[in-house]
Amino acid sequence: MPPASFSFDAARPHPDQFRNPSIPHGGTQINVLQSNRAESPHPARLARGRLLCRHTARSAYNPLAMPDATRPTIDDLQRLRLGAPLELDCGTALDDVDIAYETWGKLNADRSNAVMICHALTGDQFPASTNPVTGRPAWWPRLVGPGLAIDTNRFFVIATNVLGGCMGSTGPASLAPDGKPWGVRFPVITIADMVRAQRALVEALGIDSLFAVIGGSMGGMQALEWATQVPEKVFAAVPIAVPARHSAQNIAFYEVGRQAIMADPDWQGGAYLEKGTRPGRGLAIARMAAHITYLSEVGLKRKFDRGLQDREAASFSFDADFQVESYLRHQGQSFVDRFDANSYLYVTRATDYFDLATAHGGRLADAFSGAGSRFCLFSFSSDWHYPPEETREITRALIAAGAEVSHIEIETDKGHDAFFLEEPGFEAALKGFLDASAGRRGLNGGPGGGQGEGLAE
Amino acid sequence: MTEAQAPRVRADYLAIADRIADGARVLDVGCGSGELLSLLRDLKRVDARGLELASELAGLALAKGLSVIQGDASEDLELFPNDSFDVAILSKTVQQMRQPAQILSELSRIAPEIIVSFQNQGRWTRRLSLIRTGRMSGAKAWHTDDMLHPCTAIDMVDLAGGLGLAVEAMAPVQGGEVGAFRQGGLARLNWYADEVILHLKRA
């Protein structure tokens, strides 16, 4: 670990510094909910789960509670209480950790077909079905599902909400032992901690090793962490659009976001849940700043250029004259409706602390020594959040470590977010890799490689 | 897929496959969309790895279930540990590389055997054409051809020898047909072969 303080220590700016009257406080109502859970949990798995652990329905403070009574709350989501305290990198242990998760497909008799999908910074455990709480549609509908690259007819797919998140897993919005929300008293967590929590969940589900771990961005960090923490338990790893460590530029952008949140008077020193306020302005600005880094200059130009928003000429005011302003304000505002501000502090901090080489003695290739997993990495040419050269550095380390590694840099102008969007070359290549890996793993229906012709045509 | 619809497998690929032992670890540098590698995987059950500069081609190879790294061989080869492969293949790519000697030298460190195929500028028709017309021969105009380093069979054997690589066998490729592999007869090969397949071994 880096010699970090595991805190948000920094000179905090004056609270009024980031006031932005143009962004209204408070949330807007999200559209009608589709609250159908895609599939009911596999009965055998549930029975096993009851033996190994307690499925909890503990009432936690719900920061995103919506007035709509027909909508499930975060408390209604499927979750599992870990059986033992979770040891954290910061030196403390966390008791009574809940991990919210969703699954698709069926675990096979050998329990060898489990795929863990790790979400990005502000994602959730719903890559393949609508989030019943927020109503947001599945975030990887092109990749996860029957017959798709991550084939739910063939694989047992698990997705969790990360430790420190705000979609049902224990995080700063959960209740501390004193009955009040943790707030910034919650211990600062790392990517390694998130993966330890996922490992405990996977074990509790009776799964000894994963067929694959797949994730983009912060999810890619988790995939790398899995493959280095327990290489013997990961058959195939797919880290996407991810660096081996957060760069100074990455830390800088996220620090801007954190400072915007902390500068919002409604943040209340992190205790806004108790005080009944929400630092919506700060959180929206944080999202706006970060969102720019997920796009590309070429993409922005293609989408908006200098186009004006619903007007013929500039207004000579600070209204959102330009389409790009309006778009960013919308991104910021809709984010406030679904994400907890303190959780944002914690997940961004976890990515800042991510540095795979330093955690393994300073040489990246050493992180992968003895790596038994097959790797397939993807990067995107116009990604300047986590530039392709940084992902390539991981590939180079894997080559040097003698690991079996594939890497494709996809040509695109969609920036970092490309891995969420339509990229047929990426989808076909991922399918080819997973099909071939399934064949190697001896999974039923596995084509053993050589399939996939026609997919990319 | 019926027999008639089955794609015709290139004779030079079959000839290369014939030189490779069952289950060998093979690195194909400039593997394109993975046609040769998937043939080797299916025929010889090799542990197939590829390097390819073009992203789209590398993606197609990956979609076929092959392990492929998209990138510049001149930067990536130095990373591979010594003897991490049994055979390295340069199928019609060596003349397109910026530094053919560096590539061959790195490959000889990574694998004890190298199979190289390339166009032979020593072929009599090309020599004659240059004398008769005073212009470069070739399907493409000299300034658009991606062949950066045209050479003859003798040139290539000479370079390989300088890098400590001996000729195990060589064969001519002519109009899609591959001739017999022989250890000698370089001058004759250099005179009539359109393309050449060289099987090199670390001396």
**A354-379 tens-digit pLDDT:** 999 999 999 999 999 876 899 999 99
Give start and end residues of each alpha helix (H) in A230-363: 248-263, 272-275, 280-294, 297-303, 323-336, 341-352
Give residue B53's pLDDT band: very low, low, confident or very high (50, 70, 90): very high
- Report the residue of chain B nearest A365, measured CA to CA: B79
Task: Assess whether pLDDT exceeds 60 at residue A450.
Answer: no
Tell me the mean pLDDT in the region A156-176. Answer: 98
Instruction: DSSP for A111-171, please give it.
Output: S--EEEEE--TT--S-SSS--TTT-PPPS-TTTEETTSSEETTT-EEEEEPPTT-SSSSSS
B202 in A contact zone (CB under 8 Å): no
Angle at A246 between CA A243 and CA A249, to 5 degrees: 115
Task: Assess whether pLDDT exceeds 90 at residue B200.
Answer: yes
- Report the residue of chain A nearest B39, measured CA to CA: A450
- Report the residue of chain A nearest B70, measured CA to CA: A408
Residues of chain B with C-beta less than 8 angstroms from the C-beta of A428? 59-60, 62-63
Backbone angles phi, psi at B16, to 5 degrees: -65, -45
Closest partner residue to B63 (CB to CB) among A395, A409, A452 is: A452
Residue percentage of chain B with pLDDT more than 90: 87
Q: Which of A181, A267, A198 shows the shortest CA–CA distance to A233?
A: A198
Contact A386/A242 with Cβ under 8 angstroms?
yes
Beta-carbon separation of A453 and B64 below 8 A: yes
What is the per-residue pLDDT for A248? Answer: 98
Distance from CA of B149 to the nearest CA of A (A): 27
Give residue A216's pLDDT band: very low, low, confident or very high (50, 70, 90): very high
d(CA B35, CA B85): 19
Give residue A1's pLDDT band: very low, low, confident or very high (50, 70, 90): very low
Q: Which of A383, A243, A420, A379 shows the shortest CA–CA distance to A299?
A: A383
pLDDT tens, residue by residue, A241-266: 999 999 999 999 999 999 999 999 99
Q: Which residue has the higher pLDDT, A346 or A451?
A: A346
d(CA A122, CA A104): 21
- Report the residue of chain B nearest A425, measured CA to CA: B59
Least confident of A34-38, A209-213, A273-277: A34-38
Give residue A312's pLDDT band: very low, low, confident or very high (50, 70, 90): very high
What is the per-residue pLDDT for A34? Answer: 35
Residues of chain A with C-beta less than 8 angstroms from the C-beta of B49? 404
Task: Assess whether pLDDT exceeds 90 at residue A71.
Answer: no
Beta-carbon separation of A450 and B68 below 8 A: no
Closest partner residue to A411 (CB to CB) among B42, B55, B63 is: B55
Distance from CA of A433 to the nearest CA of B (A): 5
What is the per-residue pLDDT for A372? Answer: 84
What is the per-residue pLDDT for A28? Answer: 33
A386 in B contact zone (CB under 8 Å): no
pLDDT tens, residue by residue, A292-304: 999 999 999 999 9
Task: Assess whether pLDDT exceeds 80 at residue A187.
Answer: yes
Q: Which of A245, A237, A242 shows the shortest CA–CA distance to A403?
A: A237
Summary mean pLDDT of chain B = 94
Positive or negative: CA dihedral B9, B116, A398, A420: negative
pLDDT tens, residue by residue, B141-186: 889 888 999 999 999 999 999 999 999 999 999 988 999 999 999 9
Beta-carbon separation of A428 and B63 below 8 A: yes
Distance from CA of A390 to the nearest CA of B (A): 13
Tell me the mean pLDDT in the region B35-52. Answer: 97
Q: Which are the catalytic amino acids of A?
A: 217, 383, 416
A389 in B contact zone (CB under 8 Å): no
CB atoms within 10 A of CB A24: 14
Task: Assess whether pLDDT exceeds 90 at residue A17.
Answer: no
Tell me the mean pLDDT in the region A198-210. Answer: 98
Copy the structure tokens of residue B58. Answer: 């590398």
Contact A382/A414 with Cβ under 8 angstroms?
yes
Give residue A98's pLDDT band: very low, low, confident or very high (50, 70, 90): very high
Instruction: DSSP for A242-254, please give it.
Output: --SB--HHHHHHH
Tell me the mean pLDDT in the region A99-108. Answer: 98
Summary mean pLDDT of chain A = 87
Beta-carbon separation of B68 and A456 below 8 A: no
pTM: 0.87
Distance from CA of B151 to the nearest CA of A (A): 31
What is the per-residue pLDDT for A452? Answer: 35
Task: Assess whether pLDDT exceeds 90 at residue A9.
Answer: no
Distance from CA of B104 to the nearest CA of A (A): 18
Angle at B133 between CA B129 and CA B136, to 5 degrees: 65
What is the per-residue pLDDT for B139? Answer: 76
* Secondary structure (3-state) at A215: strand
Beta-carbon separation of A436 and B38 below 8 A: no
Q: Which of residues 394-413 of A touch B (CB under 8 A)?
A: 395-396, 399-400, 402, 404-411
Beta-carbon separation of B62 and A396 below 8 A: no
B67 in A contact zone (CB under 8 Å): yes
* Secondary structure (3-state) at B161: helix
pLDDT tens, residue by residue, B60-110: 999 999 999 999 998 999 999 999 999 999 999 999 999 999 999 999 999
- Report the residue of chain B nearest A399, measured CA to CA: B80
What is the per-residue pLDDT for B9? Answer: 84
Task: Assess whether pLDDT exceeds 90 at residue A232.
Answer: yes
Closest partner residue to A425 (CB to CB) among B42, B59, B80 is: B59
d(CA B151, CA B132): 20
- For chains A and B, CB pairs below 8 A equal 86
Distance from CA of A363 to the nearest CA of B (A): 14
Contact A229/A195 with Cβ under 8 angstroms?
yes
What is the per-residue pLDDT for A10? Answer: 57
Tell me the mean pLDDT in the region A224-236. Answer: 97
Beta-carbon separation of A456 and B60 below 8 A: yes
